[in-house]
Structure 1
């Protein structure tokens, strides 16, 4: 066995891989071999570190040097200076990882300081393609414990006592779902993992599967033991090639180690797993549509009841949880229900993973205890709004959620509190918006997504969302009428009440929440034909102010020649001819052109 004096951890998540972290890894291995250091220094390609804004990330231990925005050409300097001569390359360090020339540990960096990692505990720490690294971090001990020390009922009672709720959006108690499936009549049962993550800006499940696939495999085997199933499927969208590849490797390794297959841990329990690829239909995130897709049918929702716990895959009792829910299971089994209950809040124990994006400095993946406030997430973890802009709102729950305003920054993040505000937890997307965001346009964006993704099975969703989108498009063009706001609300309530599945039932949420908190913006669009945020192109007007020095740059840059004026005199824009492209504003050297 080799004992390495240094470990070079390189982010191998999708974001960093797209920025050539795979080539960075190759360069490290090449240069270390050239210098004869490959037996002293180990290069490890991990999953996502979370701080996507700083990627590609390289962390070198034991020093804990946190290098950010690394390029292939930087590798030579790191190898020669840091790994060969022992001199840390300060210019490449993440700017918040050093204080008074002292390197902070990763948990002292502001982005990580208030996080508690449970589902993400192995991401960015282990090589997800090496089962021995997962085992070194207590991997598969939870499975061994339940098979040799616990009855199925004891496993279910432990999950119930933990208070773990489904992390896929609904928040249904996980232990109850397991209990219902265990008690259902049937000599054949199935365990399914919903990895069909489709919300715009969401990448929580993908990152867990890329960084810690064995945790999900172990949890599904535990679930199989608890409910009496010997077979499971992981349904994952084909757009996640790195996650799919690592799952395939992990399943193969688990079978080779006897952790999947027949007589696991020399017991009577057998369990096997297969992967099913989805084609990217958002509706297949709904459990009955997902089941239909696995069966080879078109992914369309079915009426409930019966629920999958009683009649699911091929009409057999079926347990469905999402990736993040499963990722919590081994930790709960090993540490106990009381340990999990100590994290988070009374009604929402544990942690929640969020994909933090939009107008925020620290974009990335965060895991926080339930009950943490939005202010802590946005300012302490997220680093605030870029360019000192004013925070306006945050969208949680993706197309199924709603907007939360600055008035609610100190509200704790819990299932019930978000629903009370007109939003929802959802799978964990969190998109931050600043003062330049038009809330009417945001509602239009999410509804446009929902219209495209509706399966078309039920009329309220198929037709109702289209009519709502048409009204929103009309308003953002400046053609809205006062009665349109009443039509929007009436349609929204009808669609919520009459749609077949969760997609349609929650589709109006972005519209209802923006109407609730930003009605003045809707009214400005309708009554004043004005977009207060200056974002709706067809409602914009550009004006040249008295700051104009008559340099003629604006006139020369205008593609439709709508600007007139002599040299060194104030210029004027012909509003009838203006196509509102903004070229004049970009060309003006003295910021004399404004938009309203």
Structure 2
């Protein structure tokens, strides 16, 4: 579900308390026509100014396009928030090597669910952005690395690529500009580690997906040892609107250091889960207000600002601005804006155990801290959840997480450690209750304070 009013973008300062309708906080751009019949087709996309951004880009020099995107302040929407234009600028020119653009569509982290619906409903926004990006970095071949399980999205992407070819947007001499571009859609085999950009490149080359040692970075030696830009789906799909409507328009939304619009994925124990496209800097309280809040009779206990790999927040953080600086200052990361909301019926230990089991399963095994550390975290957490743990296990959990965090080959280890650190920080008492009470206090078979006071809990 997407809430998308018809009145376009909203200027900075959207948090005004005088706003009469919460929906006016939204800024539908990528999601503006998701609910239209056959929104994924070229005809519908062109009715909404599709490929106009490309036409404007082709009147500029490649270096000017890079500078324009850089000046817009667009930051990567895949997690780290690195400036998109700056990443394009790192590609060396005049080196005599082919240049490649690789779009990371291997969306697979628990809670993250924005790229797949975007590709399903509006694939041409990505294709247009790819063409603009390839023109800017002087690339003649681009790749979309898609998670292979999402077959319906794969089919729509193939269909959209065929439409773009037939209309002259792909292939030889695009729109008479002299630009030649081929676009390959590649379906991965379902490995979370391939979301890491260098593991993705190895997989794309036909090898086992494992992170590479850096340097060299992909901008110097990426796909086939050539200069490569790896961007997230939403990052590239946002480029056409910036070129078409202007960098000043883009900067009128969001905050100074985190400008623009983005997709917030609201999920969990909420009344109306879905994709909410809003300016960076909106708060979870505002998103919950416009979506009907938590499910009836329950209240927020904890939530993640950017998927399971980001440190969790509690109801004390409802008013944290959801931009890169605001979330970082509060002790977490914005990540992919996957807002998983859990109410008071959720056992924190159980949730963290399930997340950690995921990371242990998806570890590629290349480095010892992650391979061994995630395994032992799971063993400890399972014992604690089952009431077999000791108080010493809590310090051991923190110690193992500390030996993984910042010491693994890629960010998977950091992601596995984040829920451990943050849950012990905010909910250590719940871990202790599992140990002293010999099991989960949320077990319906047990008589606990939670079971004894349903009216208080559900107030």
TM-score where L is the length of structure 1: 0.70
How much does 1:297 deviate? 0.6
Distance across 2 between alignment mates of 1:460 and 1:111: 46
1:194–1:441 Cα change, 3 Å: same
CA contact (8 A) 2:281 2:326 kept: no
CA contact (8 A) 1:186 1:317 kept: no
Distance across 1 between alignment mates of 2:40 and 2:415: 38
1:206 paired residue number: 116
Structure of higher RCO (CA pairs closer than 8 Å, 6+ residues apart): 2
How much does 1:376 deviate? 0.8
1:495-539 deviation per Cα after TM superposition (whole angstroms, max 9, x unaligned): 01210011112211011111111111112222343534x14x7xx
- Three-state SS of the structure 2 residue aligned to 1:399 is coil
1:441 maps onto 2:350 in alignment: yes
1:466 maps onto 2:375 in alignment: yes
- Corresponding residue pairs, total: 438
1:172 maps onto 2:86 in alignment: no
How much does 1:308 deviate? 0.7
Counterpart selection for 1:382 from 269, 287, 291: 291
How much does 1:269 deviate? 1.1
How well do the aligned residues superpose, as a CA RMSD in angstroms? 2.3
CA contact (8 A) 1:127 1:133 kept: yes
CA contact (8 A) 1:482 1:526 kept: yes
1:130–1:109 Cα change, 3 Å: farther
1:219-276 deviation per Cα after TM superposition (whole angstroms, max 9, x unaligned): 1111111011000011101211221111111110111111101111112111110110
Distance across 2 between alignment mates of 1:132 and 1:406: 44
Larger Rg: 1
Q: Which moved more, 1:345-354 or 1:188-197?
A: 345-354
How much does 1:427 deviate? 1.9
1:423–1:316 Cα change, 3 Å: same
Alignment of 1:285-434 (within 5 A): 285-378=195-288, 380-434=289-343
Distance across 2 between alignment mates of 1:232 and 1:349: 27
CA contact (8 A) 1:126 1:211 kept: no
1:119 maps onto 2:30 in alignment: yes
1:137 maps onto 2:42 in alignment: no
- Structure 2 residue runs of 5 or longer lacking an equivalent are 7-18, 455-459
1:320–1:413 Cα change, 3 Å: same
- Three-state SS of the structure 2 residue aligned to 1:400 is coil
How much does 1:129 deviate? 4.3
1:383–1:182 Cα change, 3 Å: farther
CA contact (8 A) 1:209 1:243 kept: yes
How much does 1:184 deviate? 8.0
How much does 1:50 deviate? 2.2
Distance across 2 between alignment mates of 1:460 and 1:230: 39
TM-score where L is the length of structure 2: 0.91
Counterpart selection for 2:446 from 520, 523, 541: 541
1:7-41 deviation per Cα after TM superposition (whole angstroms, max 9, x unaligned): xxxxxxxxxxxxxxxxxxxxxxxxxxxxxxxxxxx
- Three-state SS of the structure 1 residue aligned to 2:326 is helix
1:495 maps onto 2:404 in alignment: yes
CA contact (8 A) 1:182 1:228 kept: no
- Three-state SS of the structure 1 residue aligned to 2:218 is coil
CA contact (8 A) 2:104 2:145 kept: yes
- Structure 1 residue runs of 5 or longer lacking an equivalent are 1-48, 52-60, 62-107, 544-581, 583-590, 592-596
